[in-house]
Amino acid sequence: MREPVTPDPGSGKTPIEQRMVELFRAEEGKVFSGEELGNALKVSRTAVWKHVNKLRARGYGIESVPARGYRFLTAPDTLTATELSTGLRTGRIGRRIVSADETDSTNLLAFRLAEKGAEDGVVVIADSQTGGRGRLGRRWESPGGVNLYCSVILRPAMPPVRAPQLTFLSAVAVARAVESVTPLCPRIKWPNDILVNGLKIAGLLNEMSSETDTIHFVVLGIGVNLNMKKEQFPEGLRYPASSLMLESGACVNRVEFTRALLTALDTLYEDYLEHGFASARNEWLRRSMVQGRRVRVSSGDEATEGIVGGIDDDGALLLQRGDGVSERVLAGDVTILDDLHP
Amino acid sequence: MREPVTPDPGSGKTPIEQRMVELFRAEEGKVFSGEELGNALKVSRTAVWKHVNKLRARGYGIESVPARGYRFLTAPDTLTATELSTGLRTGRIGRRIVSADETDSTNLLAFRLAEKGAEDGVVVIADSQTGGRGRLGRRWESPGGVNLYCSVILRPAMPPVRAPQLTFLSAVAVARAVESVTPLCPRIKWPNDILVNGLKIAGLLNEMSSETDTIHFVVLGIGVNLNMKKEQFPEGLRYPASSLMLESGACVNRVEFTRALLTALDTLYEDYLEHGFASARNEWLRRSMVQGRRVRVSSGDEATEGIVGGIDDDGALLLQRGDGVSERVLAGDVTILDDLHP
């Protein structure tokens, strides 16, 4: 991924390379003359040649057909703004995509862009992260070329106490994307671990800037292990982790997965803004491993047991205890107790 | 304020200049010989001379008494780590202070330091801000030499839905500090405007990094208009604003105010971690302009009227409506309706 960070995420112009890829794709297999491309893109034939070479440098296969022109052969599976934007039909999420070859963390880059005014729905993606972070601030392994590390800037007009609901949307979006590009059956474990075959395949980490009653912006950080190999995982992980490739046995197309994720999030967010948390919550509960199960939630030295009755508007787990008392649990590690006695 | 940003906010060493100021202050009026200072600070007499000159360059008045040594005369009213730390007796807040002459925004600087691991209680202060932000992301005027712009990094072990409570702590801390260094009587207007004589004198803006059930860190941004003059306020402010100097008629010592603020926040935060939100909430309600009053809360096209019964754990305003129904209000602009009929 050689594309630099888009300097101005607020600029509304579609880059020429992206429009060229769209032209090629509209009539697959066709040989386009330099003149034809130049006319369509309103640039000179020399400029056409330069942009074709730029695309080739990014891994696109474009054949030069002597005396006739150019034929589009293959697109690379790299998470560039050009490749992701082509054919992405979302309303808000990813209307503007900022991609980087490497960054400290996509959340931090998104936070800086949001501070400078980047609008609702801007997506930041990096091929690799030098300072990726996971649960409890631990390191999140972020090698290049295999996974997805992205951050989505949202500016919902609502108070900050509702922000935790957005994490539930991103968990459901990851689950939907996994289902749409693999035969795997993802499950969500409260609070928001996304598991495949009992192994963690994604991490969610959020940032927010707000006043008491108003969110300025939220950054939803989403990391998904797509094609990571066994030897790329660090030793001694607290939660056993895996990748979609390891679990499905097949390499996942990163561009296809990312488009599916952004599309799912777009639909969920649109519905959330219009109708509130109910529908995302219901979908979360359907995919959750805990609804109706007997669980123990441990936090520090304390533990509570009960039957899970759902989650409330704060994302708290609602437990029906043995003594009939209902309890709200805001944090902790969940163990499912009735696994052996279904 | 010429002191650069402390490169390592985690380093536990007290700088030599600060220890020198503490020595001078322990015996006011005394002439210290270079040898005496050198022995106490474990440095050479040449080093003593260099550190004395560094302090002078920062505005400290230190007299050279020929053939005898140095006498401490005056400290500058600049918000450097050296000056603020001297005599600050807090447990967590401000154990480490990072000060800068100018920065984009202290919140953003604190956020970057927190990402790199700056611990619970680190305070970031700048003399002026080039990108200070206020309510709804509007510009917050941040001229140098007159006000306080600070950000406090907190790492409470709790879920992110509780984070809004921390803003109420910072509002109470500002009110306490105003009371301790001026004869003014500050009031708090929900959500968290701090008013003196009906005019806004402080702004609060927070950032947070979290997972669903765990806060990584919170940055509490606190801006207080201390000695700002009338002509330094921008035209057309939505909320009428003022400074403590304009309202009290006397210049406020910035160092004294900041120490009072950090001390108040330290006490409030310690109590909050130990005993929860109750005590800060009670103090907030006592200082609030709205408790027990009939108010209208407007948000967009909607408005609700009722008698204020308090605030809940989310910081929501609890309204008793005329029809007897209780309502929780999470956001909006408050107008007090019974001002004319007390």
A221 vs B136: which has the higher pLDDT: A221
Q: Where in chain A is the domain with CATH 3.30.930.10?
A: 81-287
Tell me the CATH number for domain A16-74.
1.10.10.10
Q: Are strands A333-336 and A97-103 parallel, antiparallel or unpaired?
A: unpaired
Residues 6+ apart with CB under 8 A from B259: B84, B87, B88
Q: Please name the member of A108, A161, A206 whose beta carbon is closest to the beta carbon of B210.
A: A206
Q: Where in chain B is the domain with CATH 1.10.10.10?
A: 16-74
Architecture of B81-287 per CATH? 2-Layer Sandwich (3.30)
Q: Please name the member of B133, B136, B160 whose beta carbon is closest to the beta carbon of A164.
A: B160
Q: What integer is the mean pLDDT of A84-101? A: 92
Determine whether domain B294-336 maps to CATH 2.30.30.100.
Answer: yes
CB under 8 A, 24+ apart: contacts of B25-34: B25/B72, B25/B86, B25/B87, B28/B72, B29/B71, B30/B71, B31/B65, B31/B68, B31/B69, B31/B70, B31/B71, B32/B69, B32/B70, B32/B71, B33/B68, B33/B69, B34/B69, B34/B70
Model pLDDT for residues B221-270, shown as the tens digit of each residue:
999 999 999 989 887 766 789 999 999 999 999 999 999 999 999 999 99
Q: Which two tokens stand for residue A141?
A: 């392994």
In whole numbers, what is the pLDDT of chain B averaged over residues?
Answer: 90
CA of B211 to nearest chain A CA: how many angstroms apart?
Answer: 5
Contact B331 A163 (CB under 8 A): no
Contact B162 A330 (CB under 8 A): yes
Q: Please name the member of A136, A214, A314 whose beta carbon is closest to the beta carbon of B161.
A: A314
Residue B153, H or E segment? strand B148-154
CA of A43 to nearest chain B CA: how many angstroms apart?
Answer: 39
Q: Which of A319-333, B1-15, B79-93, B257-271 has the lowest mean pLDDT?
A: B1-15
Does the interface predicted TM-score (ipTM) exceed 0.90?
Answer: no
Q: Where in chain B is the domain with CATH 2.30.30.100?
A: 294-336
Contact B206 A210 (CB under 8 A): yes
Model pLDDT for residues A187-225, shown as the tens digit of each residue:
999 989 999 999 999 999 999 999 888 899 999 999 999
pTM of the model: 0.84
